[in-house]
């Protein structure tokens, strides 16, 4: 009787699903076995991906290839040197040699992130909030116009009130206590309502995602058992 690959993978999936679901009764050896194996397999897989999809095709193969020019090979020595310097970080005595590469990565990464956030999030979001009051597309349709204005107003005031909540500038009062300005205090209170709604939406999303994952796992268990019934 030949054992199919699907059966093996199904059995492994079934077994590890049960191991992980055993966490319902608390932390136990079965759950630990499952997590340890998962962590080990994940680490091994990531290492294999890094070697076979990054190091070999982008560094080793071009260096030993005869079709790559000397200039390109010389350029490849830069990341090779950087990688070697980064490896020095594992030695406390030589870890300082990796600082140059880390400084380069940090600087370039910060520049790319900040530039991307400015051009890809901050400015477009500001423009989006402003454009929410653009009446031109809804001329002649009072219902859509009203909906657009309402949505724009909610987004605009929600943004202002939420930002007010994070304004912590205060002035001392006669009794020594520190209080924000009255208007800021009102805005911050309304901002808390918006923040609460946002957190509620995020919680609902997290629960929905987890529930879907649970449903998928239970469905796979039922299907696996159903194959034998």
Which residues of the chain form contacts with other proteins (CB under 8 A)? 24-26, 42, 45-46, 49-50, 52-54, 56-57, 60-61, 108-109, 112-113, 116-117, 119-121, 124-125, 127-129, 131-132, 155, 198, 201-202, 204-209, 211-219, 222
Angle between the 123-131 and 142-165 helix axes, to the nearest 10 degrees? 140
Cβ nearer to other proteins, comparing 79 with 96: 79
CB-neighbour burial class of residue 155 (10 A; exposed 0-12, middle 13-18, buried 19+): middle
Q: How far is the CB of 41 from other proteins (least distance, A)?
A: 10
DSSP state string for 176-204? S-EE--HHHHHHHHHHHHHHHHHHHHHHH
**How far apart (Å, rounded) are the C-alpha atoms in residues 62 and 58?**
7
Cβ nearer to other proteins, comparing 86 with 181: 86
CA dihedral for 195, 199, 202, 204, sign (positive or negative):
negative
The DSSP element (H or E) to which 205 belongs, if any, is helix 182-226
Contact 188, 164 (CB under 8 A): yes
Q: How far is the CB of 212 from other proteins (least distance, A)?
A: 4
Cβ nearer to other proteins, comparing 196 with 205: 205
Q: How far is the CB of 192 from other proteins (least distance, A)?
A: 17
Cβ nearer to other proteins, comparing 135 with 202: 202
Pinpoint the alpha helices (H) of 122-179: 123-131, 142-165
Cβ nearer to other proteins, comparing 9 with 91: 9
Q: How far is the CB of 120 from other proteins (least distance, A)?
A: 3
**Residue 86 CB partners (closer than 8 Å, separation 6+):** 98, 101, 102
Q: How far is the CB of 171 from other proteins (least distance, A)?
A: 28
């Amino acid at each position: 009787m030949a054992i199919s690959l699907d059966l093996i993978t199904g059995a492994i999936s079934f077994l590890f699903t049960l191991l992980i679901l055993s966490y319902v009764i608390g932390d136990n050896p079965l759950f630990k076995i499952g997590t340890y194996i998962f962590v080990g397999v994940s680490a091994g897989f990531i290492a294999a991906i890094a070697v076979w999809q990054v190091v070999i095709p982008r560094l080793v193969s071009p260096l030993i290839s005869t079709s790559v020019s000397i200039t390109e090979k010389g350029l490849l020595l830069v990341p090779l040197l950087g990688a070697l310097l980064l490896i020095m970080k594992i030695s406390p005595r030589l870890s300082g040699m990796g600082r140059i590469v880390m400084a380069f990565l940090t600087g370039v990464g910060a520049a790319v992130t900040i530039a991307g956030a400015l051009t890809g999030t901050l400015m477009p979001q500001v423009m989006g909030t402003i454009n929410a009051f653009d009446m031109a597309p809804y001329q002649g349709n009072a219902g859509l116009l009203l909906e657009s204005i309402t949505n724009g107003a909610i987004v605009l005031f929600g943004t202002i009130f939420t930002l007010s909540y994070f304004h912590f500038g205060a002035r001392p009062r006669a009794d020594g206590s520190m209080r924000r300005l009255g208007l800021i205090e009102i805005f911050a209170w309304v901002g808390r309502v918006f923040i609460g709604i946002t957190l509620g939406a995020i919680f609902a999303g997290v629960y929905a995602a987890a529930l879907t994952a649970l449903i998928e796992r239970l469905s796979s268990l039922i299907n696996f058992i159903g194959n034998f019934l």
